[in-house]
Amino acid sequence: MAIIFSRKCELGIQAVLYLASAEGREVISSEEIANELKIPKEFISKILQELTASGIISSKKGKMGGFSLAKNPNKIHLLDIVVAIDGSDIFSSCVLGFPNCSSETPCPMHGRWSKLIDETYKMLNEETIDNYKNKVLRKINSLK
């Protein structure tokens, strides 16, 4: 089971990081992304479409086409990708699955859990793709 992000979202972040790490090159095909990340081409294509629709990356059709970042990597936050694919419910939904969990009617974990979620949110909101593009190359290479 995915721990916090959907599989789609995990792979979406991976793909955007890959695009960022390939700076200088015009566009990257979905096939290359699929090969490098060792995931099915068809699946990543769908995800790249969604990310294109939400304006995080842009696409160039036709032969020699492919995908590239739509903005400067220091303007793309991890949070943007998460919200685009999974939405923002995870930042407000109850960890124990109770409805209407809030400071008025908190679940028993509410207090401590809120702090963890706030930190997560902060992390995703602070970190930009730019901060990560070098780190990710190492990881991708380790996939051999």
Partner DNA sequence: TTTTAATCAGATAAAAAAATCTGATTTAGT
Partner DNA sequence: ACTAAATCAGATTTTTTTATCTGATTAAAA
In the complex, the residues that contact DNA under the rule CB under 7 A are 1-2, 6-8, 11, 29-31, 40, 42-43, 45-46, 48-49, 52-53, 59-67
User: Looking at beta carbons only, is 7 or 122 nearer to DNA?
Assistant: 7
Q: Residues 6 or more apart from 133 whose CB is under 8 A from it?
A: 17, 20, 21, 23, 73
- For 92, counting Cβ atoms within 10 Å of its Cβ (0-12 exposed, 13-18 middle, 19+ buried), the class is exposed
User: Looking at beta carbons only, is 54 or 131 nearer to DNA?
Assistant: 54
27 lies in the binding site for a copy of itself (CB under 8 A)? no
Q: Which residue has the tokens 């995915």?
A: 2
Report phi then psi at 16, rounded to 5: -65, -40
Smallest distance, DNA to C-beta of residue 64, A: 4
90 lies in the binding site for a copy of itself (CB under 8 A)? yes
